[in-house]
Amino acid sequence: MSGGAYLVVDVGTTKVCALVGEIKGNEQWVTGIGFVPSSGLKKGTIVNLEEATSSIKQAIEKALVQAKQTPQVVLASIAGSHVKTWTGMGVVVLKNREVTPEDVDEVIQAAQSIDLPQDQMILHVIPQEFVVDNLRGVQQPIGMSGVRLEAHVQLITAQRSQVQNLLRCFENLGIEVSAVLYQGLASAEAVLTPEEKDLGVLIIDLGGGTTDFAVIQEYVLKYVGSIPVGGENLTNDLAIGLRTTKTEAERIKIEKGVCLRELVDEQEEVEVPGVGARPSRRISRRVLAEILELRMKEILELVDQNISKNVDKSLLTGGAVLTGGSALLPGLIYLTDQILDLPTRIGYPVKLKGLGEEINHPQFATAVGMLVYAFQNYQLEEIKTSKGKGILQKLKEWIKGF
Ligand SMILES: Nc1ncnc2c1ncn2[C@@H]1O[C@H](COP(=O)(O)OP(=O)(O)OP(=O)(O)O)[C@@H](O)[C@H]1O
Ligand SMILES: [Mg+2]
């Protein structure tokens, strides 16, 4: 059965990636990819609405033209250090002495009424466990007998103004967004195995402007955090340390970058183009490695401090998984293993049918995870009749335009 299409847009600091996908039979397909460098964003947040809108538009156009489908659901991503987690608890009395779906809705609603700072709004409500009378650790309480139902939830919130700015970009394009997803949650959806999610795992998305991390245990998201440092800082450090332009520093980082000095032969040299009319120079690749190692260590130590303060690390028996564009830096697995004291691997996004091969890179983990999340959480028929109409019309017009 082919039920219609989904559009997801990962609005990252260095690139905007739009994917169109659909479910065919039992298979998850990606049918359109739009991928452009982003402008108007810094450290994961929108600093120029017009520029961000334009990048989002270009990415969406490319994906739609390739897919030749009109999506009914649109999801957008958000990240940045304004994203926070909170715990909430709610209680209801079971009128029928048995848990009904309405009781579950009600108790989850009750668990959300915590004193959040005025400027934060809830993005995700993630049930951790239910307690029916004295029975703890219940995951699926519907149908159970009792007189009292308690829910413990994890709330992921984001700064209201940041969410509004993101939505404004889509509004400017005449597109109604069905939901805003936290990028760390989406990346986890794309790269973690069921065993890791069960055992307890730390996922670190090393992007361009931010490093987002999440802890998942027994299939439940326990904690998220974000620090405003990423691959762009590595590039800036190289540009300063090697005295070259950011463009050259970025190229050198991708082609020759390594973040562990022991991996580099002492004799090895790298050519560094000079700025302006200055001649290029040859420098030891060890110097390059030292610069990158220093910054990477700093990022990983910040993650470690944050995690150690908020999570019991001994529960992370599934280790650490690195994803995001910067995860590919050679030496990073060893460095993470050392600093976080967790067995580490690189997380590639799950392979989807269709154009899946083209996005088989850690850089696309968030976008792929968003699509998988959309497949799992949105029934297209419902959307078509309610929210979908507005976006449907606009996106049809766009496709017609090509
Ligand atoms: N092979 C590679 N080696 C090292 N770094 C890489 C490689 N490929 C990409 N990068 C870096 O990855 C970063 C971009 O990653 P990604 O696309 O995940 O970020 P983003 O989603 O745009 O940003 P953010 O998630 O921080 O908002 C850039 O800084 C880029 O230099
Ligand atoms: Mg990203």
Ligand 2 center to 109 CA (angstroms): 30
Using the atom order of ligand 1, give the atom closest to the CA of residue 44. Answer: 27
CA distances from residue 200 to 83, 129, 189, 227, 362 in whole angstroms, order as listed: 22, 16, 14, 21, 21
Q: List all residues 6 or more positions away from 285 whose beta carbon is below 8 Å from its beta carbon.
A: 256, 258, 264, 265, 268, 269, 270
Q: Is the beta carbon of 80 within 6 A of some atom in ligand 1? A: no
For 173-270, where are the alpha helices, taking DSSP H only? Answer: 183-191, 194-199, 231-242, 246-256
User: What pLDDT does residue 44 have?
Assistant: 86
Ligand 2 center to 230 CA (angstroms): 10
User: Rounded to whole angstroms, how far apart are CA atoms 5 and 20?
Assistant: 7
Q: Is the beta carbon of 15 within 6 A of some atom in ligand 1? A: yes
Ligand with the closest atom to the CA of 255:
1
Ligand with the closest atom to the CA of 359:
1
Q: Is the beta carbon of 184 within 6 A of some atom in ligand 1? A: no
Q: Is the beta carbon of 43 within 6 A of some atom in ligand 1? A: no
pLDDT digits (tens, 9 = 90+) for 118-127: 999 999 999 9
Ligand 1 center to 110 CA (angstroms): 39
Chain-wide mean pLDDT for the chain? 92
Domains of the chain with bracketed CATH: 2-81+161-192+349-400 (3.30.420.40), 84-156 (3.30.1490.110), 194-346 (3.30.420.40)
pLDDT digits (tens, 9 = 90+) for 214-256: 999 988 888 999 999 999 999 999 999 999 999 999 999 999 9
pLDDT digits (tens, 9 = 90+) for 47-92: 999 999 999 999 999 999 999 988 999 999 999 889 998 999 999 9
For 101-230, where are the alpha helices, taking DSSP H only? Answer: 101-111, 160-172, 183-191, 194-199
Q: Is the beta carbon of 207 within 6 A of some atom in ligand 1? A: yes
Check if the beta carbon of residue 54 is closer than 8 Å to that of residue 193: no
For the segment 281-296, the average pLDDT, to the nearest whole number, is 96
The protein residues having their C-beta less than 5 angstroms from ligand 2 (an ion) are: 12, 207, 366
Categorize the per-residue pLDDT at 2 as very low, low, confident or very high, splitting at 50, 70 and 90.
very low
Q: Which of 283-297, 299-313, 378-392 is the least confident region?
A: 378-392
User: What pLDDT does residue 276 have?
Assistant: 83
Paired strand residues for 88: 153
In this predicted structure, the answer to whether residue 400 has a pLDDT above a threshold of 80 is no
Categorize the per-residue pLDDT at 397 as very low, low, confident or very high, splitting at 50, 70 and 90.
low
Ligand 1 center to 364 CA (angstroms): 10
User: What pLDDT does residue 339 have?
Assistant: 97
User: Rounded to whole angstroms, how far apart are CA atoms 259 and 247?
Assistant: 19
Ligand with the closest atom to the CA of 256:
1
pLDDT digits (tens, 9 = 90+) for 153-163: 999 999 999 99
198, 203, 233, 227: which is closest to 349 by C-alpha? 203
Sign of the Cα pseudo-torsion (33, 39, 40, 41, in order):
positive
User: Rounded to whole angstroms, how far apart are CA atoms 201 and 196?
Assistant: 6
Which of 8, 9, 10, 13 maximizes ligand 1 atoms within 8 Å of its Cβ, making it the mutation to test the pocket? Answer: 13
